[in-house]
Chain A
Amino acid sequence: MSFLKISNLYKNYGQVEILKDINIEIDKGGFLVLVGPSGCGKSTLLNTIAGLEPITSGEISINGNSVAGLHPSKRDIAMVFQSYALYPNMTVAGNIAFGMEIRGVPKDERDKAIKQVSDILQIGHLLDRKPSQLSGGQRQRVAMGRALVRDPQVFLFDEPLSNLDAKLRVDMRTEIKRLHQRMKTTIVYVTHDQIEAMTLASKIAVLKDGMLQQFGTPAEIYNSPANMFVADFMGSPAMNLLNCRLEGGAGGLSVILARPDDQPLALPIKMPNGALDAYSGKEIIFGVRPEALTDPDGADRNAKSIAEGECLIEVVEPAGSDTFAVTKLGGKEVVARLRADAAIHAGQKTKLAFNLDKAVFFDPKSQLRIA
């Protein structure tokens, strides 16, 4: 039984379709992340769940009850905004208690709830301050406190970390995850940061131009992207998407990649997928993540299908924990992720191992994944 269910949702502004046929379901206690580039409609989708934007057609239900058409305050939700949206004229305690005050909760109960929430978030010492006297991270906590105190059925987060500096963002990310594990409340979380999406989500919905591109677990999204957009958007550095030819031979299919100043590189696929047979002899897109393209010593020992090939290294970028090497294959730049101490030098030819277990293939026309 899905807890939050969005079915056939459409949202138009005049003639413009902002959201097209969105279908998403998550279970109770799930962590749904809506991710996509700016302007993809993810915040609008969140606002329709909150009831801040009316929907054109479709259905949204929470715990089996339809909420479409209900006022935001009647949906039993709480929301954390990107700008935190703390009431500037009230103290931290006033901000947290405002909703309860409106609902007519007695003073002593309010104080108890404020105490409880401020203990969880460690903001007890800030309760008498105004929002303007708080730092970014503190405001973030207060905004979460205001949401927590409602004890709602669903939490909605609208890019809550995007106004924080890089280090604080990582800390707060962990904190949100810890909070979720503790409260076990269903969360819908909007972000444009795919790392946030991967680390937090139990389910990810990738949106682009108002259309749901893929909906699945982080592992599904990462390892089996439905199309080239998802493959490119999720993961950092991005997946290498290379033009190649698929050729059949005695030993099965091979991926043929053009190399500058050299013979094309042929990578035999040892564990071919039946779906690829139809594309034998055709141009397709070969997708390989940087971590599946590495030095032979560092390759995954459990992988069933590894192919090696000589590549001319153009640039070496040591990043401390890893070393990234840039080469050119199939007419495009390719990023490989090597061990930090891999012996590799720019301008030299080096053997790289392709983990073809992790490789994906796309149809160049429809951009959909074949295998």
Chain B
Amino acid sequence: MSAASQDVATRNSIFARAIIYVVLILFAIYYLLPLYVMVVNSLKPLDEIRQGNMLALPQQWTIAPWLSAWSTAQIGVQPVGLKPYFINSMLMVVPAVAISTMLGALNGYVLTKWRFKGDSIVFGMMLLACFIPFQIVLIPSARILGLTGLAGTITGLVLIHAIYGLGFTTLFFRNYYEAFPTELIRAAQIDGASFFQIFRRILLPSSGPIIVVTVIWQFTNIWNDFLFGSSFSGFNSIPLTVALNNLVNSSTGVKEYNVHFAGAILAALPTLIVYIVSGRYFVRGLMAGAVKG
């Protein structure tokens, strides 16, 4: 009797599990379909795309569209491909992420472990920075970049992105350090460690998960930014997102869809790689903040 009912239970759970997997796989396929279309069509000659079957595999495989997108495609008026703009984006993203993450960590440290009168007001104001729409700060930013002589330079873009990201990075680190035991800071104080020694020797080594979260968040946001890139870049500092737009929207010649697909994938690749490499820490870091905070 009990063995039989156990059998039924087992069968039911296998059945339920099967349904769950089928549904999940269907969703995964649905979700991955756009990527599939992009990859497949970026590997076809233009003629095949014109025949109209977007979902078909290439009859004739070619990487020519990728090479073209990278180094010879017409971007605006210049046939240079996405390569120089890719480099621009890298030169912009890496310092901006590093600066905003470091300053965010420092802010979080001060706001939780070196509290001062009015610290919650300061934090509230920094938090507000997370909600200010990009458009509102466009003109003031342009003015400041003009006054500092940084208009149209990569340094200027780094500055804007670093400042704009500060609200988020501060929020992340403050919430993470809030759960960090204050007794450790006190122990280090008694041991004679200075403000920065405590930060570097005690706090930072324990901040791995939240650093990963912040870096992924900032990297993705700054890499994908279009508005600041198109507003504040000069001729030599156009980031990849803007260049991709120029590639796709060039009004002269034939629309090379396969090159556009390849270019779009190239533009998405760095954020994808960052996520794949450190994604599991991302989830872990978010959880650490959520559960303890």
Q: List 20 A-B contacts (CB under 8 A).
A: A47-B186, A71-B189, A72-B186, A73-B189, A73-B190, A73-B193, A78-B190, A79-B186, A79-B187, A81-B183, A83-B181, A88-B184, A88-B206, A89-B202, A89-B206, A98-B188, A98-B193, A99-B190, A146-B187, A146-B191
Of A71, A83, A102, the contact of B183 (CB 8 Å cutoff): A83
**Least CB distance, A65 to chain B, in whole angstroms:** 18
Task: Name 20 extra pairs, CB < 8 A, besides A83-B181, A85-B181, A88-B184.
Answer: A47-B186, A50-B186, A52-B189, A72-B186, A73-B191, A79-B190, A81-B186, A83-B183, A85-B183, A87-B184, A87-B201, A88-B206, A89-B206, A98-B191, A98-B193, A98-B201, A102-B192, A102-B193, A102-B197, A103-B192
Chain A residues positioned under 8 Å from B201 (CB to CB) = 87, 98
| A50 vs B183: C-alpha distance when bound (angstroms) | 13
**Smallest CB-CB separation from B204: which chain A residue?**
A89
Are B188 and A87 in contact, with the CB atoms below 8 A? Answer: yes
Are A72 and B202 in contact, with the CB atoms below 8 A? Answer: no
| A50 vs B206: C-alpha distance when bound (angstroms) | 26
Q: Residue A77 at the B interface, CB < 8 A?
A: yes
**Least CB distance, B204 to chain A, in whole angstroms:** 9
Are B206 and A72 in contact, with the CB atoms below 8 A? Answer: no
**Least CB distance, B182 to chain A, in whole angstroms:** 9
Q: Residue A82 at the B interface, CB < 8 A?
A: yes
**Least CB distance, A62 to chain B, in whole angstroms:** 14
**Least CB distance, A138 to chain B, in whole angstroms:** 17
Chain B residues positioned under 8 Å from A81 (CB to CB) = 183, 186-187
User: Which B residues from 186 to 226 make CB contacts under 8 A with A?
Assistant: 186-193, 197, 201-202, 205-206
| A72 vs B181: C-alpha distance when bound (angstroms) | 18
Chain A residues positioned under 8 Å from B205 (CB to CB) = 89
Residue ranges of B at the interface with A (Cβ–Cβ < 8 Å) = 181, 183-184, 186-193, 197, 201-202, 205-206
**Smallest CB-CB separation from B194: which chain A residue?**
A102
Task: Indicate whether A72 sits within 8 Å of B189 (C-beta atoms), given known contacts A82-B183, A85-B184.
Answer: yes
Query: A50, A78, A85: which has the most chain B beta carbons within 10 Å?
Result: A85
Query: B186, B187, B193: which has the most chain A beta carbons within 10 Å?
Result: B187
Chain B residues positioned under 8 Å from A72 (CB to CB) = 186, 189-190
User: Which A residues from 46 to 61 make CB contacts under 8 A with B?
Assistant: 47, 50, 52
User: Which A residues from 79 to 95 make CB contacts under 8 A with B?
Assistant: 79, 81-83, 85, 87-89
Chain B residues positioned under 8 Å from A52 (CB to CB) = 186, 189-190
**Smallest CB-CB separation from A53: which chain B residue?**
B186
**Smallest CB-CB separation from B186: which chain A residue?**
A52
**Smallest CB-CB separation from A47: which chain B residue?**
B186
**Least CB distance, A14 to chain B, in whole angstroms:** 11
| A103 vs B183: C-alpha distance when bound (angstroms) | 20
Of B186, B192, B193, B206, the contact of A85 (CB 8 Å cutoff): B186
Of B181, B184, B186, B191, the contact of A102 (CB 8 Å cutoff): B191
**Smallest CB-CB separation from A94: which chain B residue?**
B201
**Least CB distance, A20 to chain B, in whole angstroms:** 24
The 9 closest A-B pairs by CB, nearest first: A73-B192, A99-B191, A89-B205, A85-B183, A85-B187, A81-B183, A102-B192, A72-B190, A72-B189
Chain A residues positioned under 8 Å from B189 (CB to CB) = 52, 71-73
Chain B residues positioned under 8 Å from A102 (CB to CB) = 191-193, 197
Chain A residues positioned under 8 Å from B184 (CB to CB) = 85, 87-88
| A73 vs B192: C-alpha distance when bound (angstroms) | 5
Chain B residues positioned under 8 Å from A71 (CB to CB) = 189
**Least CB distance, A48 to chain B, in whole angstroms:** 13
Are B190 and A77 in contact, with the CB atoms below 8 A? Answer: yes
**Least CB distance, B211 to chain A, in whole angstroms:** 13
| A82 vs B181: C-alpha distance when bound (angstroms) | 11
**Least CB distance, A54 to chain B, in whole angstroms:** 13
| A166 vs B193: C-alpha distance when bound (angstroms) | 35
Chain B residues positioned under 8 Å from A87 (CB to CB) = 184, 187-188, 201-202
| A50 vs B192: C-alpha distance when bound (angstroms) | 12
Chain B residues positioned under 8 Å from A77 (CB to CB) = 190
**Least CB distance, A45 to chain B, in whole angstroms:** 15
| A35 vs B201: C-alpha distance when bound (angstroms) | 34
Chain B residues positioned under 8 Å from A99 (CB to CB) = 190-192
| A146 vs B192: C-alpha distance when bound (angstroms) | 13
| A78 vs B201: C-alpha distance when bound (angstroms) | 19
Chain A residues positioned under 8 Å from B183 (CB to CB) = 81-83, 85
Chain A residues positioned under 8 Å from B188 (CB to CB) = 87, 98
| A102 vs B201: C-alpha distance when bound (angstroms) | 10
**Smallest CB-CB separation from B183: which chain A residue?**
A85
Chain A residues positioned under 8 Å from B192 (CB to CB) = 73, 99, 102-103
**Least CB distance, A53 to chain B, in whole angstroms:** 10
Chain B residues positioned under 8 Å from A83 (CB to CB) = 181, 183
Q: 1/0 contact trace for A147-179 toward B, CB 8 Å?
A: 000000000000000000000000000000000
**Smallest CB-CB separation from A83: which chain B residue?**
B183
Chain A residues positioned under 8 Å from B202 (CB to CB) = 87, 89
Query: B184, B186, B190, B192: which has the most chain A beta carbons within 10 Å?
Result: B190
| A165 vs B192: C-alpha distance when bound (angstroms) | 32
| A72 vs B197: C-alpha distance when bound (angstroms) | 15
User: Which A residues from 131 to 153 make CB contacts under 8 A with B?
Assistant: 146
**Least CB distance, B208 to chain A, in whole angstroms:** 10
**Smallest CB-CB separation from B202: which chain A residue?**
A87
**Least CB distance, B205 to chain A, in whole angstroms:** 4
**Least CB distance, B147 to chain A, in whole angstroms:** 42
